[in-house]
Structure 1
Amino acid sequence: MTVRAFMLAAVSFAAIAAAAPALAQTLAPAQPAAATAQETPSQRLHRLFRESDEDSLRRNPIQAMFRGDFRYADRLGDYITDEYFAAERAAAERDLAALRAIDRAALNATDRLAYDVFEHQTRNNLIDLQPDMLALTAVRPINHFSGFHTFYPVFASGRSAAPFRNVEDYENNVRRHQQFVTGIDRAIGRFRQGLASGVVETQLTIRNVIQQLDTQLAVAPEESPYAGPLQNFPEAVPEAERARLRAELIAVIRDGIYPAYRRLREFLQTEYLPHAREGVGLVHMRGGDRLYQRRIQDNTTLPLTADEVHNIGLSEVARIRGEMDAIRSRVNFNGTLAQFFEHLRTDRQFEPESREWMRERYYAIGRQVDERIGQYFSTLPRARLEIREVEAFRERNEAGGSYQDGTPDGSRPGVFYYNAYDLPSRRTYGMETLYLHEGAPGHHFQISLANENEALPNFMRFGGNTAFVEGWALYAETLWDELGMETDPYQRFGGLNDEMLRAMRLVVDTGIHSKGWTRDQAIQYMLDNSGMSRTEVVSEVERYIAIPGQALAYKIGQLKILELRARAEAALGDRFDLREFHAQVLMTGALPLAVLERKIDDWIASRRAA
């Protein structure tokens, strides 16, 4: 998944800002410029896009920094105040009113596409900003998978989006830390509201958060990720200033951040945990059924029910099991499929030799993909792709791989993170498909090509939805044959194993949050239907518990893209060009799936008429 989303959950911080509001200072909204008689509908539309984007960046400085815009880098603010939510809600209502005043029929095809995406995204955001939804979400501000307590140390480490170019950047970093401390205390206040209303997190997720806090607090302030920027001062920071900046940073870590972590830990352990719910699914939480249906529609961008998603998952699990059994026969394994799974998860021949070996193997996979990828994509990202190991302080609860996007100008590379925690549990046969998903041509291509496309309005360059983003990354795994991957049957099993993971997610996520499955029941289902290790399965199941519905997006999105490719191949025959299809999918950003379907249908019609 992406570190933005969640921008990015995902998670994909390409996943925090998209999945949850980022910490932001509440600012007065920018007043939209008055329309002029000379403006065309297209000019009014693009002015709306620019004004909306600029206003959003002022409210959400972290999003700006991830885009390489450091005008607001002195502020972090608070992402969970009533004032913040009110400002976001008012902005969405203003934007929709301005959009309705523009005649969609007078726009060209490209602008109509942008109009539709903007409307969908704004309406979608507005739903989650309503008081009834916030009553179920804002009072649960932190869990072990989606929380500022784990995102912020990476952000502030000098290896992420926060700038450390000069004295001002270092001083801004201290200012942000002070606001982060305020944010932690306000999170405690939100948790207390949830205790009063009966809307609480699970015992499992809170215990995991406490463990994460213990891990960070066990490290001396001088050795924490927060102290990372002190390791390599840039030349623009004069030697005479460095001692002062070092002292100020260590002081705010030691006297501000660490005490805030301890206050949060003490509150969670003594006040909150005794009242947290034992049932892990939203079905056990007050208002949980309504929230889960909302999470399904938000993450898939389609009007699906929990039962529909569950049944799609069961069908896909059965299909993939058949292909896995064919691999078992191909390698002449004498035993059942369940015994083959156990062989794959326990035989030492599938263990990475070392962390260093794992790193070098990913480098080699990247070189192999690079040799062929230009044959199937007409445009390649400008941003470099860097391969890094997940940092020790967060590796225990992280997924096997993730992606953090770079800057549009290429000055900061995209990063594929692989997880080497509990090294013997990591399986070598999953490495190729993980790189295709998180690296190239998965998240790195989709996110970078959108970010770098200056012809798009910013909300399409930098926004998106999980179904498209993760659906594309899972679709990228299906390009293994074209890219010369998975020629070994065990690597092909690794591809099927990863696809099985996404199919099982449809079953397990809905099982937990709609049908009342327990954690152990979900773990056993995944062990019975894949070659995943118990460590991997536990991490996955606890992720679904923490961020309901997000995991549904992968398979639903992939199935839609595969459906559209098959439709185009059948309709165009010899005129079908895979490079052109990929450009149609990728070069207008992460579209809601219904909007993507209309776009591809229009493209097919235009190619047939040509």
Structure 2
Amino acid sequence: MKKIQIFYFLIFTGLLLSCSEPAENTIPDSEINAWFDAEYEELLQMSPIQLTVQGRKDRYGEVDDMSEEAEDKKLAWMEASVQELKDKFPYESLSEQAKISYDLWTYQYEMEKSNREFRRMEYVFNQMTGPHTLLPNVIINFHKVDDASDAEALISRYAEGGRAITQLLERAKLQTAEGVRPPKFAYEYVIDQSKALINGAPFTETGQNSALWNDALGKIEALVESDKITAERAEALKAEAKENLINKFQPAYQELITWLESELPNLEEKPTGVSRHENGNALYAQRLKTNTTTALSADEIHNIGLSEVKRIQEEMLTIKENVGFEGDLNEFFEFVNSDPQFFFPNTDEGRQAYLDESTAFLDEIKKKLPDYFGILPKADLVVRRVEAFREQDGAPQHYNQGTPDGSRPGTYYVHLSDMNAMPKSTMEGVAYHEGNPGHHMQISIAQELETLPKFRTQLGFNAYVEGWALYSEILAKEMGQYQNPYYDFGRLVNEIWRAIRLVVDTGIHSKGWTEEMAVDYFSENSSIAPGAIKAEVRRYMVFPGQATGYKIGMLKILELRAMAEKELGDNFDLKGFHDTVLGNGALPLDILEKVVNQWVEKEKAEVAE
């Protein structure tokens, strides 16, 4: 998964392009971009969390209003903003770049309106994107403390976080009243994660310091060490932090845990997908549209997945034969999945070795980037283990974006609680996916673009973002990586993983597959570790449609590259293609196709001159 999964990011689809005849541009980009920036600033001010993620300190002691009323207010504001856009800026008077911005701004509202219809159907609390871990993650990893006022804001956020969790619990109760409940395992995970957050000092008398308390102590002590505050002021701040954690934060989480535990007997042990809910098929169709930015149906996506699984397995057979393995593909899967040579020890030393080797791969490929890209990211990249309170055995690695100004680096996070679920063979490809030239490069470049309106630098269309990251795994081979044939096999394991997702996600949510059926298909068609398969299938069950964006997006990028190579022949410039794809920020796939076509036509015209 790409970047931090904050549900305030704008993910939109279904962009409809105007069929108007082009006219002479009469409105300069600077004028409409200034309007977009002013509007985006208003929108951004509605989310203190998103402000913090972007490295800003506006509303620093606050947490977003998580109520349905706040969502309605935001939607009404967006509707008015879109109407103002239409009134002020005639579409035919805009440049091609401004038209793209116009379409994106309009359809962020359309998608928000579409989401409104299903807001009581998307599970409020789950093990993947739940706000119960999101809020502490932001507080620990994104809330910087540079002076006493920042520390006061941090302490305020403990109380604010408690308020937000209480609001979200009320929404979960409304969802439950309408008969929408997640699988039982989802609440079991959430209970464990929530208990871990309020275990240890200052919440309990025994055990080590909790993650939040450790974070508070470290940030306050750092102020003392840098002579920003006195020791006496530090003790006062610690006392205030302790009071808010115990009296504001802990009660909200304890109430959440108590309610979740009371719900466990009502949850299904072996559920199917969202189609089991009333209006579930409509929800899934909307999720597929959102996550693929296409009109592909569940059946079409399912069949693409089946075809891709077959194709990739043929490539796997070639590597199996090249390394001299005697036996069929399933036996090779078992070998790669179980032989000790393909795993680091399940020890702290083994965990550090995974981090070190991943870092080494990223350092190596970074040197080659200028040969394949004209636009390069300025932001740094670090590799880290996921914090203990949100770590899960076999859960997928993910990326958290840095700040636009580079003050916080991008972070590639790895779940390392069970090293037997983290094979060496797939490690290299995942590093390129999450780091360079994948998520870190794409998201950092987008944030650093200076000629686009600000809102476009922060968009995150799933099919584009994840499609680019999966394309990056293949591109890395073209760049000379994967010297170990087993690691190249691991690249194919990663790719077939994404192809299987098309089959399994649609199977679960549109064809009535159970968790067991999904796990069986995964196991029969890949060498992915059992722990990882279980975590993956459970991810799909609570996060319908998201996993389909990867392969659909990658296939579109490959299709566009093949088209450009065919049209331009010897004049095809790979750097130019990559800069075109990355230089406009994240886009829905139909808009991306339009942009690449325009680039191809421009290249042809320059050759003809």
Query: When the two structures are superposed, what TM-score results if normalisation uses the length of structure 1?
Result: 0.91
For the 8 Å contact 2:61–2:154, the answer to whether it is kept is yes
For the 8 Å contact 1:4–1:17, the answer to whether it is kept is no
d(CA) in 1 for partners of 2:358, 2:579: 26
Determine which structure has greater relative contact order: mean sequence separation of CA pairs < 8 Å that are 6+ residues apart, divided by chain length: 2
With over 3 angstroms needed to count, the CA separation of the structure-2 counterparts of 1:330 and 1:398, relative to structure 1, is: closer
Letter in 2 for 1:62: I
Measure how far apart 1:44 and its partner are. 4.9
Encode CA deviations 1:156-187: one digit per residue, 9 max, x unaligned.
Answer: 12xx2212111111111122221211122222
| 1:276 partnered with 2:264 | no
For the 8 Å contact 2:425–2:490, the answer to whether it is kept is yes
| 1:477 partnered with 2:477 | no
Equivalent residue number for residue 51 of structure 2: 64
Pick aligned residue for 1:121 from 98, 101, 108 = 108
Measure how far apart 1:40 and its partner are. 3.6
| 1:334 partnered with 2:330 | no
With over 3 angstroms needed to count, the CA separation of the structure-2 counterparts of 1:596 and 1:124, relative to structure 1, is: same
SS in 1 for 2:489: helix
Measure how far apart 1:424 and its partner are. 2.4
| 1:603 partnered with 2:599 | yes
SS in 1 for 2:361: helix
Encode CA deviations 1:69-118: one digit per residue, 9 max, x unaligned.
Answer: 21111211422x12211111112211221222221111112212222222
SS in 2 for 1:219: coil
Pick aligned residue for 1:199 from 158, 172, 180 = 180
Equivalent residue number for residue 312 of structure 1: 304
With over 3 angstroms needed to count, the CA separation of the structure-2 counterparts of 1:43 and 1:424, relative to structure 1, is: closer
With over 3 angstroms needed to count, the CA separation of the structure-2 counterparts of 1:398 and 1:326, relative to structure 1, is: closer
| 1:322 partnered with 2:314 | yes
For the 8 Å contact 1:313–1:506, the answer to whether it is kept is yes
SS in 1 for 2:234: helix
Measure how far apart 1:149 and its partner are. 1.0
| 1:155 partnered with 2:134 | no
| 1:257 partnered with 2:244 | no
Letter in 2 for 1:405: Q
Measure how far apart 1:397 and its partner are. 5.7
Letter in 2 for 1:349: Q
Measure how far apart 1:285 and its partner are. 1.5
With over 3 angstroms needed to count, the CA separation of the structure-2 counterparts of 1:182 and 1:332, relative to structure 1, is: same
Pick aligned residue for 1:580 from 576, 579, 584 = 576
d(CA) in 1 for partners of 2:593, 2:518: 33
Encode CA deviations 1:466-512: one digit per residue, 9 max, x unaligned.
Answer: 11111110111111223321122101100000000100000000001
**Greater Cα shift, 183-192 or 595-604:** 183-192
For the 8 Å contact 1:78–1:179, the answer to whether it is kept is no
Equivalent residue number for residue 4 of structure 1: 4
**Greater Cα shift, 210-219 or 283-292:** 210-219
Encode CA deviations 1:103-142: one digit per residue, 9 max, x unaligned.
Answer: 111111221222222223232222112xx322323xx321
For the 8 Å contact 2:361–2:428, the answer to whether it is kept is yes
Equivalent residue number for residue 35 of structure 1: none
Equivalent residue number for residue 218 of structure 2: 231
Pick aligned residue for 1:511 from 498, 507, 510 = 507
Encode CA deviations 1:385-424: one digit per residue, 9 max, x unaligned.
Answer: 1111112222116733111111111111111112212112
SS in 2 for 1:314: helix
d(CA) in 2 for partners of 1:19, 1:268: 29
For the 8 Å contact 1:156–1:173, the answer to whether it is kept is yes
For the 8 Å contact 2:446–2:585, the answer to whether it is kept is yes
For the 8 Å contact 2:49–2:138, the answer to whether it is kept is no
**Greater Cα shift, 276-285 or 500-509:** 276-285
> What percent identity do the matched residue pairs reach?
36
Measure how far apart 1:355 and its partner are. 1.1
Letter in 2 for 1:119: T
Measure how far apart 1:215 and its partner are. 2.8
Measure how far apart 1:219 and its partner are. 3.4
d(CA) in 2 for partners of 1:592, 1:237: 48
Equivalent residue number for residue 526 of structure 2: 530
Structure 2 residues without counterparts, runs of 5 or longer: 13-25, 203-207
d(CA) in 2 for partners of 1:438, 1:385: 10
SS in 1 for 2:581: helix
Pick aligned residue for 2:191 from 203, 207, 210 = 210
Pick aligned residue for 2:376 from 380, 385, 389 = 380
Letter in 2 for 1:402: H
Letter in 1 for 2:375: T
SS in 2 for 1:292: helix
Q: Cα RMSD over matched residues?
A: 1.8
Measure how far apart 1:194 and its partner are. 2.0
Query: When the two structures are superposed, what TM-score results if normalisation uses the length of structure 2?
Result: 0.91
